[in-house]
Amino acid sequence: MPNAVPLSWYLALSAVLFTLGVAGFLFRRNIITMFMSIELMLNAVNLTFVAFSYRLKQIDGQVFTFFVMVVAAAEAAVGLAIILIVFKNRATLQVDDLRTMKD
């Protein structure tokens, strides 16, 4: 195929980005970086939606992407406000220092 890209490559890229997001969420201890990994996962899913919108020649995939973007914006706003409050109370951004119910 001289001028075309297989669709599975787009989906594979989306899988790689999703896995990177999962890795970041599970292995990083800074809460803001964990949030950014969540955004990375949401972006990967957006790519899948748009790829299938192309495949099925329907606009519904892009409508879903639109809604995912809006929800991600709302979630980022509230999540960052919560981080600000947590920082004001605990003066730390490390998730490990935020456990008061264990030990």
Partner 1 sequence: MDPILFLLFAAIAVVCGITVVVQTHPITSALALIGVMGSLAVLYLLLGAQFIAAAQVIVYAGAIMVLFIFVIMLLNAGRERKTRGSFLARLIGPPLLVLLLGVVTFVILAVVPRDAVVKFGSYTGGTVENLGRAIFTTYLWPFEITSVLVLIAIVGAVALAYKELD
Chain positions 55 to 74 lying near partner 1, rule: CB under 8 A, are: 55, 57-60, 62-63, 65-67, 69-74
Sole binder of partner 1 in the list 1, 99, 101, 102 (CB under 8 A): 1
- Please report whether residue 93 would count as binding partner 1 according to CB under 8 A: yes
Sole binder of partner 1 in the list 11, 90, 100, 102 (CB under 8 A): 11
* Minimum CB distance to partner 1, residue 100 (Å): 17
Q: Are 57 and 44 in contact (CB under 8 A)?
A: no
- Please report whether residue 77 would count as binding partner 1 according to CB under 8 A: yes
Which amino acid makes up residue 64?
A: F
Q: Which of 40, 34, 45 is nearest to 20 (CA)?
A: 40
Residue-by-residue DSSP string for 44-71: HHHHHHHHHHHHHT-SHHHHHHHHHHHH
